[in-house]
Amino acid sequence: MSVSAQTGPSTRTGPTSGQRGGYAKGRATQQEIIRTAILVFADVGFHGASLRDIAARVGISHPGLLHHFPNKAALLEAVLEYRDAVDEQSFQEDLERGSDYFEAMLHLVERNRLRRPLVELFAGLSTEATSPDHPAHEYFRRRYQRVLDEQSRLLRERAVRGGLAPGVDPDQAARTVVALMDGLQVQWLLSLDRPAAERVDMAADLRGYLDLILR
Amino acid sequence: MSVSAQTGPSTRTGPTSGQRGGYAKGRATQQEIIRTAILVFADVGFHGASLRDIAARVGISHPGLLHHFPNKAALLEAVLEYRDAVDEQSFQEDLERGSDYFEAMLHLVERNRLRRPLVELFAGLSTEATSPDHPAHEYFRRRYQRVLDEQSRLLRERAVRGGLAPGVDPDQAARTVVALMDGLQVQWLLSLDRPAAERVDMAADLRGYLDLILR
DNA sequence: CCTACCGATCGGTAGG
DNA sequence: CCTACCGATCGGTAGG
């Protein structure tokens, strides 16, 4: 898992394709650090996490971890980029399979049910990072800007085609959709203490709102 | 608070009413610790906060702080109780002044605009505390249970009087209202970087949703 | 010269 | 409430 030599020829660019073993092992270790950091950050937040804990779970020393990521903030950045890449990939694949945008959003929310650590991570960091001096502040500021802009654009497009219920403001609806997804994550995470039948169904509740505003 | 010997006859509960000056100064210090702790917890979260920092801002040593609150979790509890008391008081006063429940909710959200540290605190802690071993986990579990139950009850009452738009499920709407308030807080906090005119108006967006489901 | 780390330790801080 | 500390652990860096 953390040791996969990969010696064969490769057409890839970057350090992945070196001769004599290349950096493949290093990349594999980085991936495992990122996956482990997601679990730990999700559990105790960025401030609460210790590099020693993350490193120990991976089976290396914490200076070993710092060889791959120069500091804690750099690790956080890699984690956020990883999360975005994972989401963006499956979302795009969904769109290419013919889903419309809001369907793809609902599928994304449904997939999140199987990725509790990622949800915990994102929910926790997005609130931690509202502090202007948090290392992920800029990341989240830009992320929300981007997501809200895209959401507004889509709803305005629908509005001109008559796809919005009367009286619905596209910008307000965009903020509401995003807020709803964030807020439902908290309720869903808290509901995981309860039996499966009583848990919050994030996709169903989001669909409930979309049914109110789309037509 | 956790150790109140209470030997003399007193009609009041707690150490507030001692003779010879009593514990008034101690209570004042406790209040200042709580108010300072709100600022610090809001800024860096529970895990990120240090008792020495809070104590220093109050002007005491950190063992001095621990004289008032036996540990970090106890301080957090006091902070949460303080927040609830503040909110509950103004909310009830609002209802007594004749506001209906949803009006009072909107007023609460409007008041939050002037209490950024409390909003940061609550937004941050509510996500931190989704982890089952977080010291505030039980508090938030119960709080959401209570708020959602009350919200559902109110919406069901409205439904039987015909006060809900057709097709709106009261339980789902309850979760949506709560999720919306939580999610909008994150967007509002992030929008504080921007000029006042571009900031998220939490009350307006909540009203937008209520207008969709109430009638 | 490279990689992938190690054991030890830096100055400070955690809760108690 | 203070000073004076504890066992441990924090993020980060030294030389090898």
Q: Give the CATH number, domain containing residue A108.
A: 1.10.357
B143: in domain = yes
Q: What is the pLDDT of residue A1?
A: 34
What value does the mean pLDDT take over residues B12-25? 41
What's the number of domains chain A is made of?
Answer: 2
Pair (A15, A86) in one structural domain? no
Whole-number percent of chain A with pLDDT over 90: 64
CA A70/CA B56 separation, integer angstroms: 32
Minimal CA separation from A100 to chain B, in Å: 23
Confidence of residue B18 (pLDDT cuts 50, 70, 90): very low
Same domain for A205 and A127? yes
Q: Establish whether the CB of A63 is closer than 7 Å to any nucleic acid atom in strand D.
A: yes
Question: B143 vs chain A: nearest CA distance in angstroms?
Answer: 11
Per-residue confidence (pLDDT) for residue B134, from 0 to 100: 83
Quick check: B64 CB within 7 A of strand D? yes
- B116 versus A47: which is more confidently predicted? B116
* Domain boundary residue, one of A70, A87, A122: A70
Residues whose CB is less than 8 angstroms from the CB of residue A169 and which lie 6 or more positions away in sequence, other chains included: B208
Q: Would the CB atoms of A179 and B183 count as touching at under 8 Å?
A: yes
Judge whether B59 lies within some domain. Answer: no
B58 within some domain: no
Confidence label for B174 from pLDDT (cuts 50, 70 and 90): very high
CATH number of the domain within which A45 lies: 1.10.10.60
* Chain D footprint positions (protein CB, under 7 Å): 1-4, 9-15
- Other Cβ atoms closer than 10 A to B166: 6
Q: Judge whether B28 lies within some domain.
A: no
Does the pLDDT value for residue B22 go beyond 80? Answer: no
Domain's final residue, options A41, A70, A99 = A70
* Distance (Å) from the alpha carbon of A76 to chain B's nearest alpha carbon: 15
Q: Are residues A45 and A94 in the same domain?
A: no
Span A170-189, average pLDDT? 98
- Determine the pLDDT at residue B173: 98
Q: What is the pLDDT of residues A81-99, one digit of tens each?
A: 898 898 899 999 999 999 9
Nearest protein residue, CA measured to C1' of C16: B71
Separation between the CA of A66 and the C1’ of D13 (whole angstroms): 10
CA nearest to B131 within chain A: A43
Query: With an 8 Å Cβ cutoff, are B182 and A182 in contact?
Result: yes
A66 and A84 in a single domain? The answer is: no
In a domain, B70, yes or no: no
The distance (Å) linking the CA of A80 with the C1' of D7 is: 35
| A3 pLDDT more than 50 | no
Is the domain of A64 the same as that of A108?
A: no
pLDDT attached to residue A154: 96
Assess whether A189 and A132 both reside in one domain. yes
Provide the positions of strand C that have an atom within 7 A of a protein CB. 3-8, 13-16
pLDDT at B4 over 70: no
B152 lies in a domain? yes
Mean pLDDT of B159-184: 97
Q: Note whether A66 and A76 are same-domain residues.
A: no
Q: Is the CB of A77 under 7 A from strand D?
A: no
**Which of B13 and A153 is assigned the larger pLDDT?**
A153
DSSP string for residues in chain B: -------S--SSSSGGG-STTTTHHHHHHHHHHHHHHHHHHHHHHHHH--HHHHHHHHTS-HHHHHHHSSSHHHHHHHHHHHHHHHHHHHHHHHHHTT--HHHHHHHHHHHHTT-HHHHHHHHHHHHHTTSTTSTTHHHHHHHHHHHHHHHHHHHHHHHHTT-B-TT--HHHHHHHHHHHHHHHHHHHHHHTTS-GGGS--HHHHHHHHHHHHB-
Q: Do A205 and B45 touch (CB under 8 A)?
A: no
B190 and A48: CB-CB below 8 Å? no
CA atoms of B71 and B77, how far apart (whole Å):
10
pLDDT category of residue A17 using cuts at 50, 70 and 90: very low
A44 touches strand D (CB under 7 A): no
Domain match, A187 and A84 both: yes
**Domain residues for B192?**
77-213
More confident residue, B86 or A168: A168
Of the three residues A43, A70, A97, the one that is the final residue of a domain is A70
Interface test with A, best of B112, B169, B177, B186 (most A CBs within 10 A): B186
Choose, out of A144, A146, A151, A176, the residue to mutate when testing the contact with B (most B CBs < 10 Å): A176
Specify whether A125 is located in the same domain as A155. Answer: yes
- The mean pLDDT of A20-37, rounded to a whole number, is 78
Question: Contacts for A71-78 with beta carbons within 8 Å, 24 or more apart?
Answer: A72/A46, A72/A135, A73/A135, A75/A33, A75/A34, A75/A37, A75/A51, A76/A37, A76/A41, A76/A46, A76/A125, A76/A135, A76/A136, A77/A135, A77/A136, A77/A139, A78/A30, A78/A34, A78/A37
Number of A–B residue contacts, CB under 8 Å? 139
A60 and A100 assigned to the same domain: no
